[in-house]
Every structure is written in C-alpha cells, then in structure tokens.
Structure 1
Amino acid sequence: MATPLNIIFAGTPDFAAQHLAALINSEHNVIVVYCPPDKPAGRGKKLTACATKLLALEHNIIVEQPINFKNEAEQKQLAEYNADIMVVVAYGLLLPEVILNSPRLGCINVHGSILPKWRGAAPIQRSLEAGDKKTGVTIMQMDKGLDTGDMILTAECVIENTDTSASLYEKLANLGPTALVETLSLMAEPNFQAMDHNVAQDNELATYAHKLDKAEAELDWHLNADELDRKIRAYIPWPVSQFTFTESEGKQHRLRVWQASVQEYQGSSIPGTILKADKQGIEIATTKDAIRLEVIQLPGKKALAVKDILNGRSEWFTVGSPINKLG
C-alpha cells in the first residue's frame, strides 16, 4: 500500500498555486512552501505576497522565502525538513544540484509543454506562435539542466485556432494538477523504481522557448496573415501585439491588438495597406491573405471593438492607405 508523501512545494504564480491546492486536497502532506521574497507592486509599491504564499498561509503551512539556494544555511534548512520529494512549479529559480538531491525521491517539475519540445521560460506562448496543434504538461524528474530531466508522465490537450496564451494557460492549469497527483501516487508506491517508469528525453528533438520580449510585440505586416494571427493570440495577455500609428502632423500612437482573424485575399496590395474598414473590422494586406483587426486598444483607453473605434476615428483608417500612417 502506498504511503502518503511528505512534500516540499516550490512555486510562485497562480499556475503554481492551482497545483499546490491539488496537493493540499490530496492524501499527501505539504510540509513547507518555498516562494520568492515579497515584491513591490501597484502604484504604492507595497510589498505583495505571491499566490502560493497566500494559499500556504491560508492553510497554515510554513513558508520559506530565500533569495536563492547558494547559502549553505538555506540548503541545510531545506534538508532538515526531511521531505520525501520536492515539487517545483513555475518557481523561477534554477536549483543547485545539492537541492535536487536533497529529498529522498529528488525534485519533480510540472512543465507546460510536451518535452523535449519547448524547454524554457515561455512554452505556452511559443507553442501557439509556432502553430502547434497540441501541447500539454510534462511531469519530469529534475536534473541540473534546464528542463532536460527524465519524463515521468505527460498529459496532452488540443490547441484550438481560437486559443490565446490566456486560454491555453487555463487548460494547462486544469490538466497539470491532475497529472501531478497521479505522478505522486505512482511514486508513493513502495516498489516504485524510476528506471522502470521514467523516459529519457531525446535531445535531438528539443526546442527552446525563449523568454518573451516586449520588442517582439511589434506587428510586421510582411508576415503572412496566419503568422500574424498566431502572434496576436500568443501575446495575450502579455506583452500584447501592437503597431505604431502616425498622424499627419507626426504624432505617434501605439495601438494594441486584442482580437483578429485571417481573411482570404488574393490581391496585390502592398503589405500593411488597409483593404476594408467597417463594423466587421479593419482588414490589412499581408504577404499572404489579410488580417482583420477586430478588437484594438488606443493609448490610455480600454480595448474596444473596431466598429466602436471607427465611430470616432474613421479618418485614421482610410481604405487604400497604410495602416501605420494617416492619409
């Protein structure tokens, strides 16, 4: 019979907190939660706790907040919890080998892709941007590499052509906790042997999900409409795809795009040319087909359907003109 595991949990955002909640509600025991130090947030720059800390305190679980694990005292303190396993979900720190080897069963991680594809910081966004048809979560045994450890269990989901990073995040946040609890149940069996269950990653198939950069959010109309559509969906809710609009007197505005769709177009207009501007949206020529902007956000304003923006700014979007310049 499996014995409940004593768990150290390490994580930061809401995605991690949802996994922590599943562990709290499982047969296993979360004995301590590790998360980063509180950070200033909001206009008042008030120190604010992350989602995992708030959930841990709500359930009277001990919270530790080291800056990193380079200090021997912090390494010793973690070892003294004498945990069976450490579960790491979106923690944001690379763990030194001494920490990885500290618990009896080592450290496992919940990663938001089907490894070895999209190792790294932004797997959800990069899978969407690349046009992948499916993604999922991988529960892996952590090693000293970046998302290179042996895979214990995977769970998949379909990427719909309407998914944004926000909606895909929610799918994985529902998928991951179940896969994690299933993995722990497997590892809690007295006869569990990693060599019988774990699968090594094929490094030849690995791709890397680079961290997002604000500069990537600039829309390039010389991409084709499919590429632009995927980019727009991948960058919601951050950094949000955008373009610069210049008025005739030279004043510039940054317009964010929150919703768009691909439209068939076989004409020869220069990429970036406005083809239509009506209640359906603003259609723009690309190198293949057209992209229709349907919900956009003017500087300092809330996001609105294009039909509402055209009521007051129709002169900005003249058919036949470049989208980045008035007239």
Structure 2
Amino acid sequence: MRVVFMGTPDFSVPTLEKIIEAGHEVIGVVTQPDKAKGRGKNVSYPPVKEKALEHGLTVYQPKRAREPEFIEQMQALAPDVMVVVAFGQILPKAILDIPKYGCVNVHASLLPRYRGAAPIQWAVIRGEAVSGVTTMQMDVGLDTGDMLLKAEVPLEADETGGSLHDKLSTLGGELLIETLKGLEAGTIQPEKQDDSQAGEYARMLDKALGKIDFSMAAAEIERLIRGLSPWPSAYTAYKGKTMKIWRAEVSEGNEGVPGQIISVDKKGFTVMTGDKALHVLELQMEGKKRMDAGAFLRGCHMAEGEMLG
C-alpha cells in the first residue's frame, strides 16, 4: 500500500518501523513542528521525524492539519491509507476523505472504554486488569470511529505508565500490519462503538495531577504513583521540599491522620492515608537523584509523627 504516516512521540515510532519492514511504500511522514527546548532553546525534532529521516522519508510538519496548503499536499500524494498514531492534531474531514482505505488510527486502549489523550496512564491509575490496542477507522469525532481490530494485554501488579506504554507501542505496530492486510483483503468487518460502554474520558496528564492527596485510599495512591511514572510523577512535600514518590506498597496502618508518618524501618517509611497506609520504598527529593527510601533514611533523620504534604 501507499501509506502516509502521521505520528509524533516515541509511542508512534514502532508502528512506522513495522510499516517499513512489511514492505509498504511510505510516501510521506507527517509530524508536529519542531520545538525549542531547554535554556539554550535548541531545536528538538519529534521522535517520528528522527526515525523518518533515518530512512530517508519525506517529512511534513504543518502547524495545523486543516491548512489548505497541507490538504492539497496530501491530496497530491494520493495515499491508499493514512495511518495515525498519536499525531497530536484533530484531522478535518477534508483529510479523512482522501485515502481509499481511510485514516486508520492506532489507539492505546480497548475502545470505547478509554477515549482521550492519556488512555495508558489512566488504565493503571484506575486499576484496570486488562488494557490493549484498538485500530479504528477515524471519523470527525474524538476516538469515536468504527473499530477494526483489537489486541489485549493484562496489567502486571507492578505495571507503570512507562512499562505499559512500551508494551502497547510494540503491540500497536503489530496490530496495524494485521489491519492493513485485512483492509486490503476485505476481510475486516468494522464494528461501531457502543457509546454506553465508554468510560470516563482519559484526559490529558498535567503536573498538578501528581500532587498526592493522602486522604485518598492507599490503594488509589499506589496506583497513581505507578500510573504517573515516569511522567509527570506523583509527589508530595517534606520539610518544605518536593518529594517524588516512585514506588510504594499498601500496608496495614496504625491510627494516625492522613499524611502522618506512622513508622520508619530499614526499607522505608509508612505514611497514613484515608484507608490503610502506604509503605514508601523509592523516592526522589528535590534536586537529588532517585533512590531507595532506605538509602534516603540513612542520610536523613525522619521521625514518626512528622507530616508529608
């Protein structure tokens, strides 16, 4: 097939690589504009652009996908299919109508349960037992198009947003190749989404989401910590400085108020929550490296009764 690939972050890269490996003709790669990063404002390429240039592919970086010039460029390419993986812009109907086989999206959840920008992290935060990938025929709605194929992945007890991201990124590429084969052969029966099965919208992540509220149950906080690892991370405050918590486990707690340190041991410390307690095992203090809580305690005197937050 003649493929236009649209994607931007690391998550998109394995799918682009799979398309190339499968022998499809990638006639163009569309990604977000370059960004200036850091104090020096050095220009940074999106990961998809870096991979595309490695393969000598033509790259397009429209500020807005609805620009007439960009639409004309895509029409001139006359792709059989457009593959969209975390591109980061809403596509107008004028783009969706161009390819013979439409615009196929690789979505990192089992639709329609997790529509939205951050389905991977919210699946962990909300304690799902299973996640997965759905390929979907895009329409003008947000993740509302007809479903094509699905593949499931069980979540491990210690699953993080980062580990699930990597699993689904790889799986997405494999499922997309199956989808292209099925579309070309005419063997896929698109399935409409049941809107009544859609869960709470998987909204975009921000740093404020990571602020730990110790009045929540320990199990909820522990899932938040895993879901927001590695970004934006879950955090609290200790002695006026930000403390990121990277790993913890639910434990039985003695009486105390939420946020109060109720015990300290060689491996870490335990803080009271709204339901049970949280044993903190790995953390990072402001301006310091990530470390085991035991190592932190060897260099910092923490006492029972002190407060976090």
1:156 match:
152
Q: SS of the residue aligned with 1:237?
A: coil
Q: Report what 1:205 is aligned to.
A: 197
User: Which of structures 1 and 2 has the bigger CA Rg?
Assistant: 1
The aligned residue for residue 180 of structure 1 is 176
Q: How does 1:17-166 map to 2 (within 5 A)?
A: 17-166=13-162
| CA positional deviation for 1:27 | 2.6
The aligned amino acid for 2:183 is M
1:239 aligned onto 2:232: yes
For 2:113 and 2:63, how far apart are their aligned partners in 1?
Answer: 29
Residue deviations 1:292-314 (CA, integer Å, cap 9, x gap): 11111111110111111112211
SS class of match (1:166): helix
1:321 aligns with 2:306: yes
What is residue 282 of structure 1 aligned with on the other side? 269
Figure out how many residues of one structure are paired with residues of the other and give that number: 308
SS in 2 for 1:120: coil
> Is 1:224 aligned with 2:217?
yes
Deviation at 1:36, TM superposition (A): 1.2
TM-score normalised per structure 1: 0.92
Shift of 1:268: 2.6
**Match of 1:272?**
259
Match of 1:204, as an amino acid? Answer: S
- Cross-structure match for 2:297: 310
Whole-angstrom CA distance in 2 between matches of 1:39 and 1:274: 42
Structure-1 separation of matches of 2:79 and 2:170: 26
CA deviations over 1:146-192 (Å, ceiling 9, x no partner): 00000000000001120110001011012111100000011111xx1
**What's the offset of the Cα at 1:253?**
0.6
1:43 offset after TM fit, Å? 3.1
Look up the equivalent residue of 2:250 and give its one-letter code: V
Of 41-50 and 100-109, deviating more is: 41-50
Compute the displacement of 1:73 (Å).
1.9
2:189 partner amino acid = H
How well do the aligned residues superpose, as a CA RMSD in angstroms?
Answer: 1.2
How far apart are 1:123 and its partner, in Å?
Answer: 0.3
Give structure 1 stretches of 5+ with no counterpart.
247-251
| Alpha-carbon distance, 1:61 to partner | 1.1
Secondary structure, aligned partner of 2:143: coil
Q: Which residue of 2 is the match for residue 262 of structure 1? A: 250
CA distance in 2, matches of 1:68, 1:114: 28
More off after superposition, 233-242 vs 274-283: 274-283
Q: Counterpart amino acid of 2:267?
A: Q
Contact persistence 2:105–2:138 (CA under 8 A): yes
Identity of aligned residues (%): 40
Residue by residue over 1:252-297, the C-alpha shift from the partner in whole angstroms, topping out at 9 and shown as x without a partner, is 21111111111123x3322222121122111111122211111111
Q: Tell me the amino acid that sits aligned with residue 90 of structure 1.
A: A
How far residue 69 of structure 1 moved from its aligned partner, in angstroms, is: 2.2
Structure 2, unaligned stretches of length 5 or more?
none
CA distance in 2, matches of 1:154, 1:90: 17
- Alpha-carbon deviation of 1:40? 0.7
Shift of 1:77: 0.9
Q: State the shift of 1:321 in Å.
A: 2.8
Distance 1:76 1:323 in 2: 56
Deviation by residue 1:83-131 (Cα, 9 ceiling, x = unmatched): 1000000100000011001111110100000000110101011111111
